[in-house]
Structure 1
Amino acid sequence: MLSVNVSKVKGVKKVPQGEIVLVENHGVLGDAHAGDWHRQVSMLSKSSIDKARSWGIDVSFGDFAENITIDGVDVWKLPIGTKVYINDAILEVTQIGKECHDRCAVAKMVGKCVMPIEGIFLKVLKGGTVKPNDKVVFVLPR
């Protein structure tokens, strides 16, 4: 895991943190997207950020409003139902991509957005504290 990111309001870049607390059936403590729904946590691959950089856009971790930035796995290729283990926390992939509303604040700030196609969303099944460099294990559904 490369980065963990939080924002207090929706539709803006998230700010990298030293650690975040994942709360069961809620999401990231203090994050605007947390709540009792299926998109409690968002995740994006570094390869998606690198793609945006290849378009000439100066972006970094959290700029696409993702809570967790991952390296080494193209998360949008994971099937729904994939379990994600980070320390004691357990998450489950609930959605891949999203319908992007008309020119969200993120797209306005960075020019284009990769989240609608390559971002994924997860529900927190078991909470825990996670931070950059923690090991992430993906277990595909049977």
Structure 2
Amino acid sequence: MKVDSVHRDDKHRFSKPAVPEVRLIEGIGVEGDAHAGATVQHLHLVRRNAAAPNLRQVHLIQRELIDELNAKGYDVAPGDLGENITTDGLDLFSLPTGTNLRLGDSAVVTVTGLRDPCNQINKLRTGMLKEVIWREADGTTVYRVGIMAVVSTAGVVRPGDPLTVVLPPEPHEPLGLV
């Protein structure tokens, strides 16, 4: 398990360009990213409650999802879906809430939940939203456009850095939308 790529953008745009490294700041997020802050920074959440804690400081997507979307004919590169960190070799969607992910030498993020997909995904690639959100036969909605985390321990993260998973104590709480 490793970090595939890292991304940052100081503007509220949907996609984020790749950078050589990101610096994670405890309780804030990715230094220089538009979504960094102790309180919510996502524009639709700010309108609801600007004083709410930012549970979406770091957005992670697994490389395997990007590969799957490309295999289905969508031209998607790491960072296109707005993630800060693209991982390789880890099923992010199987992690419980409260999982700690050690990234590189010292950075640790704590998983808070699933990213809530929005229609901007279809603006990026027409029809792609149905590939990352759907309803199962039993009525359960499946969300697969990454997970969100907060920075628990500061550090620098680079492509190729190792990624280590530390599960929280049981009972495990499944990921919900944040």
TM-score by length of 2: 0.73
2:149 is the alignment partner of 1:122: yes
Aligned to 1:108: 123
Q: Deviations over 1:52-91 (max 9, x none)?
A: 1122011111011010000101111111100011121111
* CA distance in 1: counterparts of 2:18 and 2:8, whole angstroms: 7
- Structure 1 residue 10 and structure 2 residue 12: aligned? yes
Match of 1:92 in 2: 110
- Aligned identity (percent) is 36
Cα deviation, 1:65-120, whole Å, max 9, x if unaligned, reads 0100001011111111000111211110001231x33x22x430223243852400
Bigger Cα Rg: 2
Structure 2's unaligned 5+ residue stretches are 39-53, 134-142, 170-178
Q: Point out where structure 1 has 5 or more consecutive residues left out of the alignment.
A: none
After the TM superposition, which segments of 4 or more aligned residues of structure 1 sit over 3 Å from their partners?
113-116
Following superposition of structure 1 onto structure 2, how do residues 17-96 of structure 1 map, counting pairs within 5 Å? 17-36=19-38, 37-86=54-103, 87-96=105-114
The alpha carbon displacement at 1:11 in A equals 4.1
The alignment's C-alpha RMSD in Å is: 1.5
Q: 1:13-60 deviations in whole A, cap 9, x for unaligned?
A: 110110000001000011111111111000000111012112201111
Q: How many residues align?
A: 139
Q: Distance in 1 between matches of 2:112 and 2:28?
A: 14
TM-score of the aligned structures, taking structure 1 as reference length: 0.91
User: Tell me, what secondary structure is at the counterpart of 1:2?
Assistant: strand
Amino acid at match of 1:22: L
Distance in 1 (alpha carbons) for counterparts of 2:148 and 2:99: 11
